[in-house]
């Protein structure tokens, strides 16, 4: 890894975003298993080793389907390994960096918020590990209820870390009059704290949706709701304040990708709400109209397209793609280009299946279904190409 290889002083916590993107891509390939491989959804809410084994051993399953399942699993393994490799590399570099004067200087400025990329990435790690456990451990669903309390402890550590980092940063921000005119804050990096909180919320919501124990599920629901409220409040506050700085001083070119950071935040908010709706349905038999799903997912996708278009126009105008992807300029913030589009791909699966298939607007596996899936797959392909370019540039 050429970048930062010999000089720990040049490290930046935003490099954790390099580990975040392969975690997102692991989730993307899991979405294919989730929605395109048949299973008993009432018994197994997510794909597992046993459901995949059953499909692959079924004589009625085509060779093509079996090959595609293996293809998706291979990519899950690759991206999960890449995520863990880059995570441990970052943790090692962070351990050395934290004792430098550059780290202390970073913590005494608004840039301290970049440390929120640590709990953000660690929360993704738990998602990645759960995916690996689900598809590689036989009979996992027999003991899954015993795993949720253990996962709660693990996530509580990430929870504490996120709140600790944010409270320290926010306390200094409001008590020490940092850069009161926000001249050097003409970007949306501050939203990374909301990103971290909603990443924690989405995992809590996953457990509340999957657990059949009402006590355990309710604990997860309350926790996910807390972090959704916290993330939404922080995002709203910071968008108002920092957009004001952008309008006054112009956008910091090197931080242009932050205009897209609302895309993954919206994806995670949308998934959390859907999962909590499943909790209400599973434990209280609350019925939600199919049209509820299409309206809700359409709102989320519409907002994502809006932020995506604005960000694209700005970055195209200031030549960001050429400077920071195709040319020699290096900035760890460039990895913020990746997460938004991977997140959009993930939520596209929710929009297609919950918004369109569930409402019978589109028949699953029909010609129209695959026509709608094709641009999602193309976006995923372009995202992977961009990721590989950035990794090569940074020597990862």
Tens-digit pLDDT profile for residues 64-115: 999 999 999 999 999 999 999 999 999 998 888 888 887 777 776 677 788 8
pLDDT bin (cut points 50, 70, 90) of residue 347 is: very high
Q: Does residue 336 contact residue 271 with C-beta atoms inside 8 Å? A: no
In a domain, 3, yes or no: no
Q: Say how far apart CA 292 and CA 289 lie, in whole Å.
A: 5
Q: Say how far apart CA 347 and CA 308 lie, in whole Å.
A: 14
Q: Does residue 118 contact residue 195 with C-beta atoms inside 8 Å? A: no
Q: DSSP assignment of 66-132, as one string?
A: HHHHHHHHHHHHHHHHHHHHHHHHHHHHHHHHTTSHHHHHHHTSGGGGGGGHHHHHHHHHHHHHHHH
In a domain, 2, yes or no: no
In a domain, 197, yes or no: yes
State yes or no: pLDDT of 194 exceeds 90.
Answer: no
pLDDT bin (cut points 50, 70, 90) of residue 6 is: very low
Closest CA to 173 of 95, 258, 234: 234
Q: Say how far apart CA 309 and CA 262 lie, in whole Å.
A: 12
Confidence at residue 42, expressed as pLDDT on a 0 to 100 scale: 72
State yes or no: pLDDT of 257 exceeds 90.
Answer: no
Confidence at residue 166, expressed as pLDDT on a 0 to 100 scale: 87
Structure tokens that stand for 336 in this block: 């913020």
Mean pLDDT lowest among 76-80, 267-271, 276-280: 276-280
pLDDT bin (cut points 50, 70, 90) of residue 285 is: low
Backbone angles phi, psi at 151, to 5 degrees: -65, -30
Q: Say what angle helices 16-36 and 367-394 make with each other, to 10 degrees.
A: 160
* Phi-psi map region of 330: left, alpha, beta (phi>0 left; psi -120 to 50 alpha): beta
Structural domain that includes position 171: 8-394
* CA 386 centroid distance within chain: 17
Backbone angles phi, psi at 44, to 5 degrees: -125, 100
Confidence at residue 178, expressed as pLDDT on a 0 to 100 scale: 53
Work out how many domains the chain is built from and give that number. 1
Q: Say how far apart CA 281 and CA 42 lie, in whole Å.
A: 12
For 150, counting Cβ atoms within 10 Å of its Cβ (0-12 exposed, 13-18 middle, 19+ buried), the class is: exposed
User: What is the chain's mean pLDDT, rounded?
Assistant: 83
In a domain, 317, yes or no: yes
Confidence at residue 5, expressed as pLDDT on a 0 to 100 scale: 47
* CA 69 centroid distance within chain: 23
State yes or no: pLDDT of 43 exceeds 80.
Answer: no
What are the pLDDT digits (tens) for 136-187?
Answer: 999 888 887 777 777 777 778 888 898 888 888 877 777 765 554 455 565 6
Q: Say how far apart CA 143 and CA 50 lie, in whole Å.
A: 13
The alpha carbon dihedral of 221, 265, 89, 26 has a sign of positive
* % of the chain residues with pLDDT over 90: 30
Q: DSSP assignment of 308-328, as one string?
A: HHHHHHHHHHTTHHIIIIISS
Secondary structure (H, E, C), 325-387:
HHCCCCCHHHHHHHHHHHHHHHHHHHHHHHHHHCCCCCCCCCHHHHHHHHHHHHHHHHHHHHH
Confidence at residue 182, expressed as pLDDT on a 0 to 100 scale: 52
Q: Say how many C-beta atoms besides its own lie within 10 A of residue 342's C-beta.
A: 25
Mean pLDDT lowest among 9-23, 71-85, 128-142, 284-298: 284-298
Confidence at residue 180, expressed as pLDDT on a 0 to 100 scale: 47
**What pTM was computed for the model?**
0.88
Confidence at residue 159, expressed as pLDDT on a 0 to 100 scale: 83
State yes or no: pLDDT of 9 exceeds 70.
Answer: no
Structure tokens that stand for 344 in this block: 């959009």
Residue range 343-369: average pLDDT?
91
Structure tokens that stand for 268 in this block: 């995670």
State yes or no: pLDDT of 1 exceeds 70.
Answer: no
pLDDT bin (cut points 50, 70, 90) of residue 281 is: low
């Amino acid at each position: 890894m050429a970048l930062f290889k010999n000089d720990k002083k040049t490290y930046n916590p935003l490099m954790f975003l390099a580990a975040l993107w392969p975690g997102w891509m692991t989730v993307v390939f899991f979405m294919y298993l989730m929605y395109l491989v048949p299973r008993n959804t009432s018994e197994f809410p997510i794909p597992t080793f046993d459901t995949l084994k059953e499909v692959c051993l079924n004589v009625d399953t085509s060779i093509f389907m079996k090959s595609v399942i293996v293809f998706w699993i291979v990519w899950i393994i690759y991206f999960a390994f890449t995520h863990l490799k880059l995570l441990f590399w970052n943790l090692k570099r962070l351990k050395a960096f934290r004792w430098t004067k550059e780290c202390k200087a970073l913590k005494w400025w608004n840039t301290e918020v970049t440390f929120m990329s640590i709990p953000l990435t660690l929360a993704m790690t738990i998602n990645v590990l759960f995916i690996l456990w689900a598809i590689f451990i036989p009979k996992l669903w027999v003991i899954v209820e015993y795993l949720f309390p253990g996962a709660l402890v693990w996530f509580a550590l990430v929870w504490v870390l996120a709140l600790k980092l944010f409270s320290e940063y926010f306390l200094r921000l409001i008590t020490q009059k940092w850069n009161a005119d926000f001249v050097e804050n003409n970007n949306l990096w501050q939203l990374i704290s909301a990103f971290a909180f909603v990443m924690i919320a989405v995992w809590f919501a996953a457990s509340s949706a999957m657990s059949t124990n009402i006590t355990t599920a309710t604990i997860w629901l309350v926790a996910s709701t807390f972090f959704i409220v916290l993330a939404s409040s922080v995002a709203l506050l910071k968008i108002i304040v920092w957009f004001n700085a952008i309008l006054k001083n112009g956008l910091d070119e090197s931080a242009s990708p932050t205009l897209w950071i609302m895309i993954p935040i919206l994806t995670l908010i949308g998934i959390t709400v859907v999962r909590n709706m499943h909790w209400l349905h599973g434990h209280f038999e609350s019925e939600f109209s199919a049209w509820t799903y299409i309206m809700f997912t359409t709102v989320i996708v519409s907002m994502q397209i809006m932020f995506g278009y604005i960000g694209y126009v700005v970055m195209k105008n200031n030549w960001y793609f050429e400077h920071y992807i195709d040319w020699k300029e290096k900035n760890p913030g460039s990895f913020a280009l990746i997460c938004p589009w991977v997140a959009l791909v993930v939520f596209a699966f929710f929009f297609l299946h919950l918004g369109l298939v569930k409402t019978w607007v589109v028949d699953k596996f029909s010609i129209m279904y695959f026509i709608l899936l094709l641009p999602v797959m193309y976006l995923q392909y372009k995202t992977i190409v961009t990721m590989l370019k950035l990794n090569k540039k940074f020597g990862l």
